[in-house]
Structure 1
Amino acid sequence: MSIDWNGLPDEEFRAVFRAWVLDNCPAELRYLRKQRPVYEEVEQWYQALAEKGWLAPVWPREYGGMGLSPAKHMIYVEEWGRLGCPRIPDHGISLTGPLLIHHGSEAQKTEFLPKIISGEHIWCQGYSEPNAGSDLASLRTSAVLDGDAFVVNGQKIWTTLAHCANWIFVLVRTDREAKPQRGISVLLVDMTSPGVEVRTIENLRGEADFCEVFFDNVRVPAHNLVGALNDGWTLAKSVLGHERIFLGSPTRAEYALDRLGKLASDRGAFEDAAFVSRYARLRLDLYDLGSSYERYAKVLRSGGELGADVSVLKIFATELYQRITEEMLTLAQEEARFNDDLLIEGGQIDAMNLFLDARAPAIFGGSNEIQRNILAKAVLGLPS
């Protein structure tokens, strides 16, 4: 008998999910140094979630999901982060799946959704371009209809884990004469198609999380168009609707502050009044972040829509994460130069790894500068 997860009290659902994760997520995969493991590295965890039926929390049950309400989904995400579950290649689950469920044809749902659940299809997202990152409406990758196929030419950049994916959903310009937002469409592209080339981009930690993707006369079947022609901007916004609240989750900062506290205890830093003052400020800011996050979470739990002011949450969370990891390097002193973990009594601290990881969140998902522009225009009513 299937359980109505939404019918359980929140704390009971939290306890059930937490207990199952502790029993089924391999210990060696929890709290990974690598923030973006590839599918082969987390396949065991991916398949365990799929077998349990917990891989796609917000998908309707008829498509293999849990059908979680916003309230239960918030708990799922919170516990996932606090338990150190590894991030799985999730573009198919969190982006492609919802895109097809809400806007795809029945044939597309039948073809693609089961293969996301099984892990046969690993997806990436083709949005940003060299001159169209946060200003996505200026994208130039083109798709021209030629018989029963679109011919795609152009380039995408900062495409997460594209070198490990076999499918990509791409924003393309299908009408050059229309206003920027109105001439965009969404295509589903097989990465093994002739003319697709992927080049990795090494990040500060020496990992290839991001890629460039080039399209040279790539033919894409016309039936791989999602939704209506030239309506891709609307689809793109709907897919990313709740991203900012999850980017504003306090879990990264919570983990980093816990590690800072352990390092400080080991090095005797709590004997230093100046450090205690700085640490107290960080802890109080984390309390404030948690309260702010809960305020927005309540809006989602009640079925409401988030306003533009949620941008403040992403700024607060990412910059607090940076300040905590900077304090960690200050405390580590000359050892801060090491990429390897710092040894402390009873364990080790990944100080440099966390510091480097904290650089990216302020940029991806709409840079913090863009978020400040949103707040200035949409909340404060300031002129452009």
Structure 2
Amino acid sequence: MTQTDVQPPFRADHAPHPDYNAMPDAEFRAVVRHFIETHYPDIPRHLLRRLRWQEVCPWYAVLARTGWLAPTWPQALGGMGLNAGKHLILIEEYERFGCARMHDIGTVMLGPLLIQFGTQAQQDHYLTRILSGEDIWAQGYSEPGAGSDLAALRTEALRDGDHWVLNGQKTWITLGADANMIFVLARTDKSVRKQAGISFLLVPMEAPGVTVREIENLEGHAEFCEVFFDNVRIPIGNIVGEVNGGWAMAKALLGHERVFIGAPRLSASALARLEEIARREGVWSDPVFRDRFTQLEMDLADLSDLFETYVERLRTGAPIGADVGLLKICQSELYQRISEEMLQVAGSLGGAQLTDATARLDTAGTWLAARPTTIFGGSTEVMRNVVARASLDLPK
């Protein structure tokens, strides 16, 4: 499959999905494995870095055309209709096979929000364009000085007739340089408390006044960018939900995001690679190493149990709660500890330049990838304070 074969729009052409939720988990897992092994295109597997749009586009096209692009959306809206348990199985099998992660902000974040809060016109227009690959979305939340403390944002949108006029800056936007659309939290009222004066806006990246600057990560990949808005005019219909009602939507997205950021898959994959490295380097039988490995294994089991607690809340529709921060804290810190242990025993596999035979182990890449996990999605220090106040009723 060449790049000329995979230019959007991608139009789904498939039979209606069966009721996957009614399948036993083992049967559904077998269906997912068969689908991946049959349909995964000739693009890299088991990469720690995010592929850019032109690299991952063939996989996006396959998922779009087969109706597997939006796992949790209702089938009536073009999704698979998976519940949280089945979605987790899907994610686990993607990880097992080493599937590249696509540009999924539209399917994972914006789509569910539009289904819950958007107008019928917004759903008809934007959901269709996400499924066809015509709109690739970015998330415009964080700003300089307003990352974990998101309510401190200063990007401002002022009403001017039939438009909003947007000014400000967003940063650390994952793969934002590949997107043609971005959803933005902006302050629309300065006279109320900071959480109450925020709105949720949909902004074309090609609009006059939008400037994008790429940011390289530790490995030299331009995975992030910053976006500047200079008197960008947005139609009034591009607001989702009520004016000044964006904070509730932001919290809803962050709660779901932190469940899946806290999923144990990264730590589980790293721990399996740690075992392989230890066997290759001849330290697997060392009792001191095995003691450290067993502790990491037990921590992973604890994390998996905690994750299932929040998945069950998603299954039943129960509130996620501020205590979901515990999940994100445990996952990110465990992933870092495993990556550090990998470097301790890696020997010749600890370098950044690996052969094709050892690239999957990528010890140095794992260590680098683990560094920002205690920052993005809410820094560990801030998350501990949130949990302390909300769950333990401690004073500010």
- 8 Å contact 1:315–1:368 — kept in the other structure? yes
Change (3 A) 1:189 1:75: same
Query: Counterpart of 1:119?
Result: 133
1:42 maps to which of 40, 56, 70: 56
Query: SS state of the match for residue 240, structure 1?
Result: helix
Distance between the aligned counterparts of 1:261 and 1:343, measured in 2?
Answer: 19
What letter matches 1:380 in structure 2?
L
Q: Does 1:332 align with 2:331?
A: no
The structure-2 alpha-carbon separation of the partners of 1:334 and 1:268, relative to structure 1 and needing over 3 Å to count, comes to closer
Amino acid at match of 1:289: L
1:363 pairs with 375, 387, 392, which one? 375
**CA-to-aligned-CA distance 1:197-249 (integer Å, 9 cap, x gap):** 01111111111111110001111111111111111111212223322221111
Structure 2 unpaired stretches of 5+: 1-14
Give 1:272 shift.
2.7
Q: For the residues of structure 2 that align with 1:261 and 1:325, how far apart are their CA atoms?
A: 12
User: Within 5 Å, which residues of 2 pair with 1:1-384?
Assistant: 2=16, 3-26=18-41, 28-34=43-49, 36-333=50-347, 336=350, 338-341=351-354, 349-384=361-396
* Structure 2 letter corresponding to 1:372: R
Give the Cα separation in 1 of the matches to 2:68 and 2:41: 16
SS for the counterpart of 1:200 is: strand
Query: C-alpha separation between the residues in 2 aligned to 1:210 and 1:74?
Result: 26
- TM superposition shift of 1:168: 0.4
Q: Secondary structure at the match of 1:305?
A: coil
Number of residues of Structure 1 aligned to a counterpart in Structure 2: 381
Counterpart Cα distance in 2 of 1:238 and 1:289: 22
TM-superposition CA deviations, 1:297-339 (whole Å, max 9, x none) = 2333344333333221211111111111111111134763x31
- Output the CA distance in 2 between the equivalents of 1:38 and 1:14: 28
TM-score by length of 1: 0.94
Q: CA RMSD in A?
A: 1.8
1:9 to 1:349, Cα distance in 2 relative to 1, 3 A: closer
Return the TM-score normalized by structure 2: 0.91
Aligned residues: percent identity? 51
Contact preservation (8 Å) 2:43, 2:55: no
Task: Give the 3 Å change call, closer, same or farther, for CA 164–343 of structure 1 in structure 2.
Answer: closer
Output the CA distance in 2 between the equivalents of 1:347 and 1:184: 45
Q: Specify every segment of 5 or more residues in structure 1 that has no aligned partner in the other structure, as ranges.
A: none
For the Cα contact (< 8 Å) 2:255–2:321, is it kept in 1?
no
Cα offset, 1:38, TM superposition: 1.7
Q: Say if 1:342 and 1:348, in contact at 8 Å, map to a contact too.
A: no
For 1:106-158, what per-residue CA distance to the aligned partner results, in whole angstroms no more than 9, with x for missing partners?
Answer: 22112211111111110001111101111111111111111111111110111
Return the offset for 1:363.
1.1
